[in-house]
Amino acid sequence: MKRRTFIGAVAAAAGVAAAQPPDAFKNLRPMTDGVRPITDDERRARMKKARQLMRANQIGAIVLEGGSSMYYFTGTRWTASDRTFAFVLPEKGEPAWIVPQADQARAQQAIHMGGDVRAWADEGPYQKIVQVLKDRAAGSTIGIEERVRFAVFDGLRKALPGAEFVSADPVTVGCRVIKSPAEIALMQHANDVTIACYKAVFATLREGMTSGELNNNVDAAYRALGYRGDALVIFGKYTAFPHGSTQPQQLREGDMVLVDDGCTVEGYQSDITRTTVFGKPTARQREIWNLERKAQDAALAAAQVGATCESVDAAARRVITDAGFGPGYKVPGLPHRTGHGIGLDGHEWTYLVRGNQTRLAPGMCFSNEPTIAICGEFGVRLEDCMYITGSGARLFTRQSPAIDQPFGFG
């Protein structure tokens, strides 16, 4: 049968039997060995660079709440709540933490970089932050990190009238957009885990399965590998919806199958999409899939040091528009940017998108995911992440070689 032929090919590519869980995952083993967390020495170097960028941008201090930037600089994770928990990194002097008195004991356990911890109670957090800024002679220009909530920013500007509040992006993005070898190694591990998950999961495709069932298989495979992941699973005509559909979906012979997901290793993300067909591909499906791969190749080739982000987007988009789609962002065609930055956030600065004149530099990391959406028919997205080196872009993962070979062989 055609379906068995397809599943057999996927199973050979995956190196596992084409069976339902748990049999499909019986050969999966935890991939948790060899992971090297970011060291405190590297985090201190990040803060040093941040201070250099503060001086260059005439910013006296930056204020952060819980989130990826706080974790990037300090290794501390904290969920934002109505009780303000903030980190102040001044251009000069020791950083400081502003914590709720009710959570001070827990905060002391979570904080391991910086010993100036100031607890607030009924007086509120903002005067505590103001006092840190005065103690550090931070001046009148304060940077606010992009994830800081408006209520916190508003409270701080009321407590410090006359100060100028600016975006901290030149500092935080300026640091985070260039990944270190240690960060790239963690992202490589996350990508390796996701590919191992996919190879096992694609072997479980069967007639009549729902997108929810396949999503559950993704979860089960990640658990077997020692991780947790997040999946977008789309079948058939709904693959033309770049970010999925709320409609229930069951897999049928000839349907396109799109799986887009990633996992996290020490906070660092993977993001991979594979599009294939359940059964024998039609000439139309193969043609569009091959066009998508050509567009992905064009973006990869264009991602050279010194090239602008928008030129990489234009290279991929040109392939698709030259084939008669679009133009621009119109569908049928490529309805979104070619790629996004990736690191501690699945989507972060900077972006491969029209209008972005940022020039590529070694250490930048991006997804490479031009998409072809043909509403009413199907869509194709191939997504592999890449990092920029002195000699051009390198992929974390092997690209799909063909529509019926999501992973290739060997």
Nearest to 95 by CA among 79, 73, 75: 73
Would residue 362 count as lying in a domain? yes
Work out the average pLDDT over 214-231. Answer: 94
Cα–Cα dist 284/408, whole Å: 21
Residue that finishes a domain, picked among 131, 150, 176: 176
Does the pTM surpass 0.85? The reply is: yes
163 CB-near residues (< 8 Å, 6+ apart) = 140, 141, 142, 157
Do the Cβ atoms of 75 and 40 come closer than 8 Å?
yes
User: Per-residue pLDDT for 1 more than 70?
Assistant: no
Same domain, 189 and 334: yes
Which pair of structure tokens corresponds to residue 12? 């050979």
Total structural domains within the chain? 2
Dmax over CA atoms of the chain, in Å, equals: 75
**Residue 400 covered by a domain:** no
Q: Looking at the structure, do residues 362 and 258 belong to the same domain, yes or no?
A: yes
User: Which CATH number does the domain housing residue 151 bear?
Assistant: 3.40.350.10
- The confidence band for 337, taking pLDDT boundaries of 50, 70 and 90, is very high
Dihedral sign of CA atoms 102, 106, 109, 111 in order: negative
Query: Strand (E) positions, 23-147?
Result: 61-65, 86-90, 96-100, 116-120, 141-144
- Give the range of the structural domain holding residue 119, as residue numbers without chain letter: 40-176
| pLDDT more than 90, % of the chain | 89
Q: How confident is the model at residue 390 (pLDDT cuts 50, 70, 90)?
A: very high
Are residues 44 and 18 both part of a single domain? no
d(CA 392, CA 406) in angstroms, rounded, equals: 25
Q: Are residues 128 and 235 in the same domain?
A: no
Q: Tell whether 306 is covered by a domain.
A: yes
Are 71 and 150 members of one domain? yes
Contact 22, 216 (CB under 8 A): no
pLDDT in tens, 164-186: 999 999 999 999 999 999 999 99
Rounded to 10°, the helix 181-202/211-225 angle is: 130
CB 28 within 8 A of CB 174: no
- pLDDT for residue 15: 35
405 in any annotated domain = no
pLDDT at residue 53, rounded to an integer: 98
pLDDT in tens, 307-326: 999 999 999 999 999 999 99
Which residues fall within 8 angstroms of residue 324, CB to CB, at 6 or more apart?
A: none
Instruction: Say if residue 282 is in the same domain as residue 378.
Output: yes
CA–CA separation, 300 and 303 (whole Å): 5
Residues 143, 225, single domain; the answer is no
The verdict on 182 and 68 lying in the same domain is: no
Q: Is the same domain home to 84 and 193?
A: no
Tens of pLDDT, residues 181-197: 999 999 999 999 999 99
In this predicted structure, the answer to whether residue 2 has a pLDDT above a threshold of 50 is: no
Q: Which helix (H) or strand (E) segment is 69 a member of?
A: helix 68-74
Q: Residues 235, 361: one domain?
A: yes
Confidence of residue 23 (pLDDT cuts 50, 70, 90): confident
Q: What pLDDT, on the 0 to 100 scale, is given for residue 230?
A: 80
Whole-angstrom distance, CA of residue 367 vs CA of residue 341: 6
Among the candidates 176, 193, 226, a domain finishes at 176
Query: Where a domain ends, among 176, 204, 226?
Result: 176
Q: Note whether residue 407 is domain-resident.
A: no
Query: Per-residue pLDDT averaged across 284-288, rounded?
Result: 98
> Do residues 211 and 339 share a domain?
yes
Residue 248: band (very low, low, confident or very high) from pLDDT cuts 50, 70, 90: confident
Q: Is the residue at 137 inside a domain? A: yes
Q: Is residue 408 part of a domain?
A: no
Residue 96 lies in a domain: yes
Residue closest to 111 by CA, chosen among 172, 70, 143: 70
CATH of the domain at 372: 3.90.230.10
Q: Are residues 56 and 141 in the same domain?
A: yes
Rounded average pLDDT over 39-43:
98
DSSP state of 239: G
